[in-house]
Amino acid sequence: MLSKGLVLLGAGVLGRRIACTFVAAGYSVNIRDPSKDARDGAIEYINSHKDEVSALSKGKRTYGHYAAFEDMESAVRDAWLVIEAVPEKLELKIDTFGELDKKAPADCILSSNSSSFKSRFIIEQVRHQRRSQVLNIHFTMPPTIRTVELIFIFNRLWAAVKGEILTILADEVSEPAEIDKLWDQMFKNRLPPYKLIDQTNLDTVAFIEDNYIEERNLDGSLTVDWPRNNYIKEGRLGSKSIKGGLYPPPPPPACGPSLYFLNVGLGGNCPEVSLASQNGKIICKTPYGTSTTLLTALNCPDGIDIAPSEGRMFWTNMGRHTSTFDGSVLSAKLDGSNVKTLIEPGKVHTPKQLVVDESSLKTGDVNTVDKQDMTRWCVGIGLDKNAGKIYWTQKGPSKGGKRRIFRANIEIPSGETASNRSDIETLFENLPEPIDIKFEPETQTLYWTDRGEYPVGNTLNRANVGSPTTSEKVRKLEMLARHFHEPIGLKLDPRHNHVYVTDLGGTVYRFNLDRTDKTVVHSDDGCYTGITLAF
């Protein structure tokens, strides 16, 4: 604890709170106020609140000594810092600092907690040689609001807000309760102002401000003209610009991927379920965090993958309903242009997830069978090119717990057909509802999403499947993450130790492969299915 004390001049609402803050931090504090009621109230406030304030800081501290005084000289005799918190009247503050100059020690720092008067306006009676020791120290409202300013930044902002809300009242446009309710709804747990402007984007904000300037006959030289000249002309528009806006663009992760994911069309922006078949989208999110809708009006897209060497993406459309048989498979460039239909609607039933093998990009005759037997509907597919194997999940009744995961050779055994081939292995049975599936060859690990019922459904899972001879009894299923909203899409990023998952609740997640760092990388009112990555 310092041998010299700290002094608060004024025991009112702010003075007693500032004093309590320093007492709780271990400083000795003298409080000076000519009113006995104010002095007693300040001491009672510190007695009642010092424990609460102390709990806000780290570690345990010994409380500082505190006392209240009526006369100035006794209070400031041994002070190293004086904080003036008297009423906001300039003449009173000038007289107070004149008295302080005479009675406080020569090396004492003199400060004002004024919320509007700069220190240069209150030093009229302070000797010239001491004026360099006078400054503003403005506490907002401790301990609830713990900001302290040496120059007026927030108060300048707050002055504009106060002026406008008082004008609203004077113009009889609204009333205090309504304005407070609007403020609470707009700003509770919301972005701070400059981040909000960047999210809205500066060019949009500029157009809005132009309207205010014309309507109110304002001067735009210090408002809208400044961002136009310093940001908008340079292409720094905000979140939609790779150059950033008021904030610089976030650095992309090292060689981080762009995400391509599908909105099946059943999200919050779809007014009726019957319109979902016209509402599907392909969305790209760059490492900078910028999202772009590449294609719209898709017929319930479900699976997507990319062929980097071709610069193209491939996706499935499930179609309107299992009874309509209008599924299809399409392709486009990575910017959404040059769309091509690979499998026409009606040639497949409800195509789900897909994987691209760039070594054998080709299409042939397509025929869908088993349209009525749900236990034979395939959903997710994974590829082990090194071993020449494919893995897939197979559907059953919704939430029926009868789903399975299979493995077979990519090539059908000689003399056999898809219907009678003998190389199909059942790896797992009676799963809740496995959907998308991916194989990681280095660790021989199979990953899959499961949208079944809680507690083992709505999860991300994995299992080491090892060699084809490994027994199911020694295959250990590991739940990597849970509590999704019907997870669908899955994509591995082994080079960055990540796995991405989408769910029908409108969220794209990223995890480390060691189960840590669950991160929401995109979330809105969409309804997301397949996902893939482009580097």
Domain residue spans of the chain = 5-149, 153-234, 258-360+377-534
326-342: average pLDDT:
94
What is the CATH T-level fold of the domain 258-360+377-534, as seen in this structure? Neuraminidase (2.120.10)
Per-residue pLDDT band for 397 (boundaries 50, 70, 90) equals low
Closest CA to 427 of 368, 476, 376, 484: 476
The answer to whether 429 and 478 have CB atoms below 8 angstroms apart is no
Supply the pLDDT for residue 211: 87
Per-residue pLDDT, averaged over 370-389, amounts to: 79
Please tell me whether residue 167 adopts helix, strand or coil conformation.
helix
| Predicted confidence (pLDDT) at residue 471 exceeds the cutoff of 60 | no
The predicted structure's pLDDT at residue 395: 73
Band (pLDDT 50/70/90 cuts) for residue 375 is low
Q: What is the mean pLDDT of residues 292-317?
A: 94
Element (H, E) at 532: strand 528-534
| CA pair distance 509, 499, nearest whole angstrom | 8
Mean pLDDT, rounded, for 279-298: 91
Residues 237-265: what's their mean pLDDT?
85
**Integer Cα distance of 204 and 183 in angstroms:** 22
Contacts of 220-229 with C-beta under 8 Å, sequence gap 24+, read 227/202
Note the pLDDT of residue 11.
96
For the beta sheet containing 519-523, the strands, ordered from the edge strand earlier in sequence to the opposite edge, are: 487-493, 498-503, 507-512, 519-523
∠ CA(129), CA(134), CA(135), 5° rounding? Answer: 150
459 band by pLDDT with thresholds 50, 70 and 90? very high
Beta strands in 241-377 (DSSP E): 258-263, 280-285, 291-298, 301-307, 312-317, 327-333, 340-348
pTM of the model: 0.55
Q: Give the class (CATH, top level) of 5-149.
A: alpha beta
Contacts of 226 (CB under 8 A, 6+ apart): none
